[in-house]
Amino acid sequence: MKALVTGGAGFIGSYLTERLLRAGDEVTVIDNLSTGFRENISAIEGDTNFKFIQGSILDASLIETLVAGSDIVYHLAAAVGVQLIADDPVHTIETNIAGTEVVLDSCNKFATKVFLASTSEIYGKSESVPFDEDDNIVLGSTRFSRWSYACSKAIDEFLGLAFYQQYGLEVVIGRFFNTIGPRQSGQYGMVVPRFVDKALNNEVIEIYGDGRQQRCFCYVDDVIEAVIGLMNCPKACGNVYNIGSAEEITIEALADKIIAMTGSSSGKKFLTYEQAYGREIEDMMRRIPAIDKIKEAIGWAPVTGLEKSLEIIIESFKK
């Protein structure tokens, strides 16, 4: 099978690309390297079934050409990370909405099945935890650029489902919850690589907010298996699925765990969001997925616990 992966030089995209290649697929990756890195795909660049194109998903003619030569599309390209979203909201909105429209238009033209990567940010400030796929969206004021990401990905979902309902395009949507693993960069606000890097260097770990925010972290290999499983499930088309772990931990406890696991002498420092991002940012106190729907559809549940995930990540930083 010939697969196109947008954002394939990014953290999740590079793992997906490797997994598809192992399955014998021919894979083309398009990435503008704005948040992806060439080194993420350096190990596979010699594979005869792999092709990399540095380009933008906003380039409609390029995307049409690539989709025309593909049997299946995985659309992961997006502006991600709280820091990037806060710093460049225009880029976030344009990339996530206009880019997805370009991809869907081309997929529809050639009747090509497509996976749309969405986010747990969709749920916003909802207190209906754990989050079910059909729960209401509760977002904050438009004054806070942080919500532009959630809104843009919600529009992506509306667009994808509209193409399914109106044109019969095979669309599967997955909402990622805090995926972690080697290759993830802390540059744009991702908490685990940021904490691990500081701990290994015995530097102060900065915690944004009061540290009581609760999150669930899912290892990237488990996430990829969920994506592949959903795309192999005909009944998944036209549906939205949470993809994540239900193992909760507070952000402060995460810092403590990483300090202990690395034997670090790092201390902790609490920063307000305004101190951290240079502007006021709203956050959610709990973000926990209900995964009953994906379990029922494909029998999926994560198999890598947080402790094991952190062990792998810490070792990857030492190399």
Question: Any idea what DSSP says for residue 44?
Answer: G
Closest CA relative to residue 13, chosen from 140, 179, 125: 179
H/E run at residue 230: helix 220-231
- Distance (Å, whole) CA 161 – CA 118: 12
Say how many C-beta atoms besides its own lie within 10 A of residue 267's C-beta. Answer: 12
Q: Is 188 labeled as catalytic in the residue annotation? A: no
The two structure tokens encoding residue 242: 């949470």
SS3 41: helix
Q: What is the rounded distance in angstroms from the CA atom of residue 51 to the CA atom of residue 44?
A: 9
- The residue from 15, 74, 123, 149 that is catalytic is 149
Residues contacting 133, CB < 8 A, separation 6+? 175, 239, 240, 241, 242, 290, 293
Name the one residue in this structure whose structure tokens are 């014998």.
24
Instruction: Please tell me the total number of residues recorded for the chain in this structure.
Output: 319
Give me the active site residues, please. Answer: 149
